[in-house]
Structure 1
Amino acid sequence: MRTRLAIELHSLFERFFPERRLFLKSDNDTRFIRLSSETQVAAVAGVAVMVGWTAMATAILLMDSIGSGNFREQAKRDQATYQERLNILSGERDMRAHEALAAQDRFNAALEQISAMQSELLASENRRRELETGIEVIQTTLRATMKQRESVRTELAELQQETGGTDIYMAAVANPAQMEFMTEALSRTAAERDQIASDAQDALSQRDDLELEIQLMQERSDEIFRQLEEAMVISVEPLDKMFRKAGMPTDRIIEEVRRGYSGMGGPLTPLTFSTRGEELSADEVRANTLLKQMDQLNLYRIAAEKAPFASPVRAAVRFTSGYGTRRDPKTGGRRMHNGTDFAGPRGTDIFATADGVVSHAGWQSGFGKLVKVKHAFGIETLYAHNSKINVKVGQRVSRGDHIADMGTTGRSTGTHLHYEVRVNGKPVNPMTYIKAARNVF
C-alpha cells in the first residue's frame, strides 16, 4: 500500500517538477547531480517557508514600530497632562498656604485685640470699684449728716419746750450762744447737703459715661470674638478634615499629643475677669471656648508635623505605579505592591514627609539603598532604591529634610523612588496621606 501511494505521489511530483540533472564538467571528467522530483518539492517548500517567515517577521516588526511610536506619543501626552496637573496643584497649594498665613495673621491680630480688651476691662473694673467706694463714702457721709440734722431738730424741740413755746428768735436773743450754735449747725448741714448733691450728680454722670464706655467695649468685644471664632473655624476644620480623610481618629491623636507635650500645647488656664467667685459671664465663656480651640489648633499642628502629610519629592516626576495588586515588572506575574513609585532623573532630591527618627539607613535586599523613618502614632515611612543616603541611624529628621537621592539600586527596572507608609507594621496607601494634605499644606 505504501509503495502504491509513493508511486502516485512520485507521478504527481513528476508532472510539475520533472527530474533534472545538474552537470559539472572539468577538464578530465564530467559529473552530474541528480535533482529528483521530491528534492525539488522539498527545496521549493523550504524557500516558501523562508519567504513566508520573512514576510511575517517584517510585518510584526512594522506593527511593533508603529505601536511603539503611538505609545511614546501617548506617554508624552500623559506626561504633559500630568505636569499640567502638578502645576495646577502647586498653584492651589500656594494659594492655600497664603490663605493659611492670612488666617494666622488675623488670628495674631485678634489675640492682640483680646489682650488690649482684657487690659481695658481690668482698668474699667478698677474704675468701677473706685466709684463704688466713692459712693459708699458719700452714702456714709449723708447718713452722718442726716443724723446730725435729726440731732439739731431734737435740740430745737427741747429748746422750744424750755422756752414754753415762745418764739425761737426771742429765745435765741435771750441766749446768744445757743443761737450761734444753731446757725453754725444749719450752715454746715446746708453745705454738706449741697456737696452731697454735687457728688451724687457727678457720680450719676460718671455712671452714664461708664455705661456708655462699657457698651462700646462690649460691641468691640463681640466683634473681636466673632473674628476669632471665624478664624478658628477656618484654621481647625481643614486640619480635622485632613486627619479624618487619612483614617486617623482625631480624639486619640489629640490625646496622645497632649500627653507628650504637656509644656507646649497643653490645656490653657481659663480666663477670669473677677475674683469674687461669681459665675462666668457670656464673654468669659466665649473667651474660654476660644482658648480651648486655640489649644486644639496647636495640638493639631503638632500632630500634623508628626504624620506623613507631604510628598517625598518636589521635582517634576512621573507617577509610575500605585498601591495595590499589579503586574510585576520583572516576572510578569500578579503581585501586591505595598507602596507608590515616583520616576524621575537620577539624583532627584528625596525629602522626609514628617518629623521622626531614622531607624534604617543602608542596603536591604530588594529595596537597594533604603531609608526608614519612625514617626509618632505607630507610623513608619520607607524610601527605597536610592543612589545616595544623606542620614544615619538614630538621626532625628524634620519634615522637608533632604534624606536621600533618587536612584535605581536593588530590584528595579529604572530610576525611581519606591515610597511606603506603614501603620503598626501594616502597609497602607501613601496617597491617602498625600491627598488628604493637598488643601492644607
Structure 2
Amino acid sequence: MTSRLVSRVNAALERHLPEQRLFLKSEEGTRFIRLRPVAQASMILGSAVFVGWTVIVTSIFLIDTISAGNARDLAQREQAMYQERLNYMALERDARAAAASAAQDRFALAMDQVSDMQTRLLESEERRRELETAVDVIQATLRRAIDERDDARLTVATLQGELEAETGTVQTAAEREWELQQTLAFLNDALENTAEERDETYTQMAEAADEINRLNFEFALTEERQNRVFRQLEEAVAVSMEPLDEMFSAAGLSTDDLIESVRRGYSGQGGPLTPIISTSGDGPDPLSDRANQLLQELDEINLWRIAAERLPFSNPVQGPYRQTSGFGPRRDPINGGRRMHNGLDFAGSRGTPIVAGGDGVVEFAGRQSGYGLTVEVRHNNGFMTRYAHLNRIRVSEGERVSRGERIGDMGTTGRSTGVHLHYEVHRNGTPVNPMTFIRAGRNVF
C-alpha cells in the first residue's frame, strides 16, 4: 500500500522533478545514487523550511535589537529630560533660598533702621520736653518780673502822693527828694533788667518755637520713613506667607490645627509681645500696634515654617530616579492580580541616598516581612513615613532626624523585582498618597 502511494507520488512529480542519478567514483569502481522525485521534493522542502526558519529567526533578532536600541534611546532621553528638570528645580530652589536669605537680610537691616529711628525719636521727644519745660520757666519768670514792675510803679505812685501831701514828717524836703531819686533810680534799673529779661525770653521763645518746628518736621520725616519701612516689611511678610499657605491648602491640611499644635509644643518659649514705642501712659500708639501686628505675623510665619519642617513635604530620593508605580490599585508585579499599592515606587541606582521627608523620630529601623530593610519615621500631627527595600540603614530607633537628612541607601531587599524605594505616608494610621505632599512642597523646599 505504501509503495503504491510512493509510486503514484513519484509519477506525479516526474514531470517537474525527473529522476536524477548521482555517480560516485572510487578505486573499487563506479557507483551511483538514484534521486527519485519524492526524495528531491523532500530535500527541496527541507531546504525551504531551513531557509524560512533562518529568515524568521534573523528577523526576530533584528527586530529585538532595533527595539532594544529604541528603548535605550528613549530611556536615555527621558533620563536626560528628568536630569534637566532636576537641575532646573535645583536652580529654582537655590534662587528661592537666595531670595529668602536676601529678604531676611533686608528685614534685619530694616529692623536696625527702625531701632535707630526709634532711638532718635525718643531723643527728640526728650529735647522737646526739655524745651517745653524751659519755656514754662521763662514764662513764669517773665510774669513774675511784670508783677514786680507793676508793684514798683504802684510804690512810686504812693511815694509821689506822700511827697505832694507834705504830711508832718521829720525829714527835710531835700532828704525826701534824695530818697525818692534813689528809689526811682533803683526802679529804673529794675525795669531795665526786666525789659532785658523779657527781650531775652522772647528770643528764647522764638528759638524754642523754631526748634519745636524743626523737631516736628523731623518727626514727620521719621514717621514717613517708618511707614515706608513697615510697608516693605508687611509686603515681604505677605509674599513669604503665600507659598506656605498654598502648600498647606494643596495638601488638604488645616493651618489652624497645625499652628495650634506647634504653639502647644513651643509653649515654654512664648511670651507677650512688648510694644516697641510707647510715649504716653494711655496705651500703645498706632505705630506700636502696627509693629506688634507685624511681629505677630512674623511669629506666625515662623510657626508655619516649623510645621512645614515637621511634615513630609520633601522628596525622599536625593538623586536621579524614575517613578515606576503610583498610589492606588495596580497589577502585582510578582504574582499578578489586582492589589492595593499604599505608596510610591522610585527606581534608581543601588546606593542612591534616601533622606527623611520631614523632621521626626525614627520609630523603627530594621527588617520587615515583605518590605526588607525598612525605616519608619514618626512626625507631628499623626503622620508616619515608611522607607522600604533599602540596601543599608543609616539611623537607629529613637534617633531624631531632620528634613533632608540621609537615613539609608536605595536597594532591593524584601519582596522586590529590582532596585527601588517603596515610600509610604500614613496619617493617623491610614495610608495617603505621598505625591500630594511632594507636589505641595515643590514651591517651598
Does the C-alpha gap of structure 1 residues 224 and 414 become closer, same or farther in structure 2, counting only changes over 3 Å?
Answer: same
2-structure distance, mates of 1:365, 1:293? 48
1-structure distance, mates of 2:294, 2:165? 77
What is the letter of the counterpart of residue 216 of structure 1?
A: L
2-structure distance, mates of 1:138, 1:60? 114
Partner in structure 1 of residue 113 of structure 2 = 113
Does the C-alpha gap of structure 1 residues 361 and 109 become closer, same or farther in structure 2, counting only changes over 3 Å?
Answer: same
Is 2:221 the partner of 1:220?
A: no
Question: Aligned with 1:383: secondary structure?
Answer: strand
Q: Cα distance, 1:315 vs. partner?
A: 1.3
- Equivalent residue in structure 2 for 1:315, among 312, 319, 343: 319
Deviations 1:230-287 (A, max 9, x none): 2212222222222222222112211221221134466533333224215523x22321
Does the C-alpha gap of structure 1 residues 241 and 165 become closer, same or farther in structure 2, counting only changes over 3 Å?
Answer: farther
Q: Cα distance, 1:325 vs. partner?
A: 2.3
1-structure distance, mates of 2:54, 2:418? 34
Does the C-alpha gap of structure 1 residues 269 and 324 become closer, same or farther in structure 2, counting only changes over 3 Å?
Answer: farther
- Equivalent residue in structure 1 for 2:373, among 336, 353, 369: 369
Partner in structure 2 of residue 393 of structure 1 = 397
Q: Give the conservation status (yes or no) of the 8 Å contact 2:327–2:433.
A: yes
Is 2:82 the partner of 1:77?
A: no
What is the letter of the counterpart of residue 398 of structure 1?
A: S
Partner in structure 2 of residue 205 of structure 1 = 210
Partner in structure 2 of residue 146 of structure 1 = 146
Q: Give the conservation status (yes or no) of the 8 Å contact 1:106–1:231.
A: no
- Equivalent residue in structure 1 for 2:359, among 351, 355, 363: 355
Q: Give the conservation status (yes or no) of the 8 Å contact 2:278–2:284.
A: no
1-structure distance, mates of 2:257, 2:177? 93
1-structure distance, mates of 2:177, 2:221? 59
1-structure distance, mates of 2:100, 2:134? 50
Partner in structure 1 of residue 192 of structure 2 = 187
Is 2:245 the partner of 1:240?
A: yes
Is 2:279 the partner of 1:270?
A: no
- Equivalent residue in structure 2 for 1:437, among 434, 438, 441: 441
Q: Cα distance, 1:425 vs. partner?
A: 1.4
1-structure distance, mates of 2:276, 2:147? 46
2-structure distance, mates of 1:15, 1:98? 95
User: 415-424 or 267-276, which moves further after superposition?
Assistant: 267-276
Partner in structure 2 of residue 334 of structure 1 = 338
Question: Aligned with 1:372: secondary structure?
Answer: strand
User: 358-367 or 306-315, which moves further after superposition?
Assistant: 306-315
Partner in structure 2 of residue 254 of structure 1 = 259
Q: Give the conservation status (yes or no) of the 8 Å contact 2:248–2:254.
A: yes
Partner in structure 1 of residue 23 of structure 2 = none
Q: Cα distance, 1:53 vs. partner?
A: 9.7
Q: Cα distance, 1:396 vs. partner?
A: 0.9
Does the C-alpha gap of structure 1 residues 438 and 363 become closer, same or farther in structure 2, counting only changes over 3 Å?
Answer: same
2-structure distance, mates of 1:266, 1:238? 27
Does the C-alpha gap of structure 1 residues 413 and 154 become closer, same or farther in structure 2, counting only changes over 3 Å?
Answer: same
Partner in structure 1 of residue 304 of structure 2 = 300
Deviations 1:70-112 (A, max 9, x none): 4333333222222222222222112111111111111111111
2-structure distance, mates of 1:229, 1:347? 46
Is 2:136 the partner of 1:136?
A: yes
2-structure distance, mates of 1:318, 1:336? 20
Q: Which structure 2 residue ranges, 5 or more long, are not aligned?
A: 12-47, 167-174
TM-score of the pair, normalised by structure 2:
0.81
Q: Cα distance, 1:365 vs. partner?
A: 0.9
Question: Aligned with 1:345: secondary structure?
Answer: coil
Q: Give the conservation status (yes or no) of the 8 Å contact 1:122–1:273.
A: no
Q: Cα distance, 1:54 vs. partner?
A: 9.7
Q: Cα distance, 1:49 vs. partner?
A: 11
Q: Give the conservation status (yes or no) of the 8 Å contact 1:344–1:406.
A: yes
What is the letter of the counterpart of residue 368 of structure 2?
A: Q
User: RMSD value over aligned CA atoms?
Assistant: 3.5
Question: Aligned with 2:267: secondary structure?
Answer: coil
- Equivalent residue in structure 2 for 1:325, among 302, 325, 329: 329
Does the C-alpha gap of structure 1 residues 198 and 51 become closer, same or farther in structure 2, counting only changes over 3 Å?
Answer: same
2-structure distance, mates of 1:165, 1:103? 92
Does the C-alpha gap of structure 1 residues 16 and 172 become closer, same or farther in structure 2, counting only changes over 3 Å?
Answer: farther
Does the C-alpha gap of structure 1 residues 373 and 336 become closer, same or farther in structure 2, counting only changes over 3 Å?
Answer: same
Q: Which structure 1 residue ranges, 5 or more long, are not aligned?
A: 1-6, 19-47
What is the letter of the counterpart of residue 90 of structure 1?
A: A
Q: Give the conservation status (yes or no) of the 8 Å contact 1:323–1:339.
A: yes
Does the C-alpha gap of structure 1 residues 338 and 358 become closer, same or farther in structure 2, counting only changes over 3 Å?
Answer: same
1-structure distance, mates of 2:177, 2:302? 85
Partner in structure 1 of residue 102 of structure 2 = 102
Partner in structure 2 of residue 36 of structure 1 = none
Question: Aligned with 2:84: secondary structure?
Answer: helix
Partner in structure 1 of residue 24 of structure 2 = none
Q: Give the conservation status (yes or no) of the 8 Å contact 1:369–1:385.
A: yes
2-structure distance, mates of 1:325, 1:342? 17
Partner in structure 1 of residue 19 of structure 2 = none
Question: Aligned residues: percent identity?
Answer: 53
